[in-house]
Amino acid sequence: MSDTAVASSRSQKVFLTPRRKRQITSIILAGICAVWVYPLIWMIAASFKPNSELFSNQSMIPIDPTLENYIRAWTEANLQRYFFNTLFVTVGSVVITTLAAALAGYVLGRRAFPGKWVLMGLMVFTLFIPQGYTIIPIFQLLTNLGIGQSLWGLMLATCGHNIVIFMLLFAGYFTQIPKELEEASRMDGVGPVKTFWYVMLPLAKPIVVTVVVMQALMAWNDFLLPLVITLANPAMRTLSVGIYSFKGEHFVDWGGMTASSTIAIVPIVLLFLFLQRYFIDGLAGAVKG
């Protein structure tokens, strides 16, 4: 082989050093990321622009920045009320869903009982029913229970959305935990409830975090269910429904809408950032299981 051929093959190799490869990958990923977050940035930027500037100013940076949109949304559009409604529904449904799914998943994952697989099959079957089909029966059920027009009713209905998936996540995770841990705690004279609470649930932390984040996201952003349940009672609206009210029949208040949307996403982004590490662990763990 001639010297030049060797040299050129060597220089090719040098061009794609691992470091260079990483740089190229990073640039591509940054590009994709930019496309992804652009609407979000646009929304946040627009929320600080007066309505007159919204479509005339093509730049991201407002010429005449203002908090007027936020003030209007928070006070006039009753967003304050909606915010706490949403917080109530979200926190309540996260607590109930996580506890219920963990308890059910514990039994499904670790106990054998007659009819277990039929029960599991039925639950998995419900995953295939589109949400839209169940809204009217849920509405009726809540009305019959006397909580059809209350935040409690909305909160309970919100719990039902993903609970089957969460139960299966917990069941899969609990199945992997060695039985000796429970036996050790039985030998220690610790009852089943305390064993669940002090031994099993702490071990399922990645799944708990996953369920908390997913349920919080879902409850916070849910639109169809709160729309239907709060139709007759605007004071019960949640943020996602409330934001929709900025869209009138003939006029859309884009400024108000972007400001209220920004208000709506901040808590959920914060939650995610706070729990991000565990969340990823949980998903990885769930795949393993």
> Is there a contact between 224 and 40 (Cβ–Cβ < 8 Å)?
no
CB of 196 to another protein, least distance (A): 12
Q: Is 262 in the site for another protein (CB under 8 A)?
A: no
> Is there a contact between 247 and 90 (Cβ–Cβ < 8 Å)?
no
Size of the site for another protein (CB under 8 A): 17
Closer CB to another protein, residue 100 or residue 190?
Answer: 190
Query: In the window 217-246, what residues touch another protein (CB under 8 A)?
Result: none
CB of 7 to another protein, least distance (A): 52
Closer CB to another protein, residue 24 or residue 184?
Answer: 184
Closer CB to another protein, residue 141 or residue 275?
Answer: 275
> Is there a contact between 159 and 145 (Cβ–Cβ < 8 Å)?
no
> Kind and range of the H or E element at 111?
none
CB of 183 to another protein, least distance (A): 5
Q: To which residue do tokens 């939650």 refer?
A: 271
Query: In the window 163-222, what residues touch another protein (CB under 8 A)?
Result: 178, 180-181, 183-190, 194, 198-199, 202-203, 205
Closer CB to another protein, residue 187 or residue 232?
Answer: 187
Helix (H, G, I), strand (E, B) or coil at 247: strand
Cα separation, 246 vs 261, in Å, equals: 11
Q: Which two tokens stand for residue 253?
A: 């208040």
Binding mask 120-159 for another protein (x = CB under 8 A): ----------------------------------------
Which ranges constitute the DSSP H helices of the chain? Answer: 3-15, 18-47, 68-71, 79-110, 116-126, 131-145, 151-159, 163-176, 179-187, 192-194, 201-203, 205-221, 224-230, 239-244, 254-288
Positions touching another protein (CB under 8 A) are 178, 180-181, 183-190, 194, 198-199, 202-203, 205
